[in-house]
Amino acid sequence: MKERSQFSSKFGMLAAAVGSAVGLGNIWKFPYVAGQNGGGAFLLVYLLCVLIMGFPALITELSIGRMAQTGPISAFKKLTGNNRWTFIGVLGIITSFLVLSFYFVVAGWSLEYIYQSISTMSFKGMTTADLNNAFDQFSTNTMRPYIWLVTFIVMSGLVIYMGVQKGIEKGSKVMMPMLFAIMVYLAVHALLTNSSPEGYEFYLLADFSKITPTVVLQALGQSFFSLSIGIGVLLTYGSYVKEGNIVITGLQISILDTLIAFMAGLVIFPTVFSFGIEANAGPELAFVAMPAVFSQMTGGMVFAILFFLLLALAALTSTISLYEVMVAMLNDTFGLKRGLANLIVGVVVAILGIICCNSINGHSIFTLCGMTCFDWCDTITSNYFLPIGGLSMMLFFGWGCSRKKVHDAMIEFGMKEWFYKIYIVFVRFVIPILIVLIMLNQFGVLKI
Ligand code: PHE
């Protein structure tokens, strides 16, 4: 029996979990999905999703790992003695591949923008049209996006190969606060230099008529994506710890993650309106709006480089969390050597990533229902696979496990009895019903 690695402290586990949660999902995806889904209306529904569903789901996933003390494929069998729930682990692995294939593409963009911050002297003198053009030219280039994509995959593979994740996670204890500080600075800067209130109105005032079934589904998906729920990453991290109050850990991760996403909106939307950028521009939004911010800032170059560097590092702590889970699974379940498992994951993800990368900006080899491969991987994972993964974990925890075992474990992990009573009702009834209703509503099977 191999010795299982443990986090040296509960802070180690917190840093790793926050590292996984905070990433492109907060700074790149949140603003673009909010921009496409009505701004303030989306923000409101998003916050409700984090509070009502994301936070309990996060505690659930961490707890399953902590109880089982093993990774996602074997955890469910270990806790119930049968194989009925193993599909959750398998779904998680498939989802991880799909997430990584588009995530690496965008992570590559962050590297390109470090380079562009220097080569254009922090986008000096560039108009909105120039910035849009720069993005289009880069993303349709037949070399650069692929080179950055592969570079990022190799970087992640190397971190795993050298076993220095812990080091990176320790580093993220410094980098995350820096990222946070820079976002606060940029948000205040936006507030002070912005003359148009439309950006704030768009982002902070909820127009209830804009809340459609799609907006609700997108908010649910985005909250699970941003918190890294439903894939097995948190389960794995939970399995590395034996101490610490689970509710406090869950709160810390949820609050930090949500704050960083919220700040990204506070920087991007005022800029979008004062620079005449389309709020619903889609995946390129942050890569046009952020350069616009730096183009007019004193000391813009330092901030631009620092920002894209921190964004790349935040993306790296998220990619290694997914990458490690896959390598560990190939190693545990199929007995592959870690080095070989690492290579296989890298090659498969590179192939999928190249297809996604190729599908940007009208270059798609195929489109399905009007969506490119990139869009498919992006939307289908967030909106369906992660909520279904999270839902299955909740059904497992609420209905598949012995009630006494779950109760005793949660109390042992530091949950108060009164909180448990509410929590378990959410896990057994409220959240599963809500997720099913949201999905049925989206498909038009049900009209609310
Ligand atoms: N939460 C990460 C982000 O916001 C993405 C992620 C999703 C990581 C699922 C792991 C698992 O960037």
322 Cα to the center of ligand 1, angstroms: 8
Using CA positions, which residue lies closest to atom 2 of ligand 1?
A: 21
Q: Shortest CA distance to 68 belongs to which of 409, 425, 411?
A: 409
Q: Looking at the predicted structure, is the pLDDT value of residue 364 above 70?
A: no
Written as six digits, the tokens of 419 are 């909180």
* Ligand 1 atom at minimum distance from 318 CA: 8
Express each pLDDT in 16-65 by its tens digit: 899 999 999 999 999 999 999 999 999 999 999 999 999 999 999 999 99
227 Cα to the center of ligand 1, angstroms: 6
Using CA positions, which residue lies closest to atom 11 of ligand 1?
A: 228
pLDDT at 176: 85
- DSSP for 135-168, written as a single string: HHHHHH-SSHHHHHHHHHHHHHHHHHHHT-HHHH
Top-confidence residue, 360 or 86 = 86
Highest mean pLDDT of the ranges 69-78, 97-106, 185-194: 97-106
Q: For a pLDDT cut of 70, what percent of the chain falls above it? A: 96
User: Cα–Cα distance between 422 and 433 in angstroms, integer?
Assistant: 15
146 Cα to the center of ligand 1, angstroms: 21
Global pTM value = 0.95
* Ligand 1 atom at minimum distance from 257 CA: 4
Residue 368, beta-bridge partner list: 371
**Most distant pair of Cα atoms in the chain: their distance:** 65
* Ligand 1 atom at minimum distance from 25 CA: 4
Residues in the ligand 1 pocket, defined by CB under 6 Å: 20-21, 23-26, 99, 225-226, 228, 231, 233, 318, 321-322
User: Cα–Cα distance between 294 and 275 in angstroms, integer?
Assistant: 12
- DSSP for 199-218, written as a single string: HHHHHHS--GGG--HHHHHH
User: Cα–Cα distance between 189 and 187 in angstroms, integer?
Assistant: 5
Express each pLDDT in 227-250 by its tens digit: 999 999 999 999 988 888 999 999
22 Cα to the center of ligand 1, angstroms: 7
Express each pLDDT in 395-427 by its tens digit: 999 999 999 999 999 999 999 999 999 999 999
222 Cα to the center of ligand 1, angstroms: 10
| Burial category of 344 from C-beta neighbours within 10 Å (exposed 0-12, middle 13-18, buried 19 and up) | middle
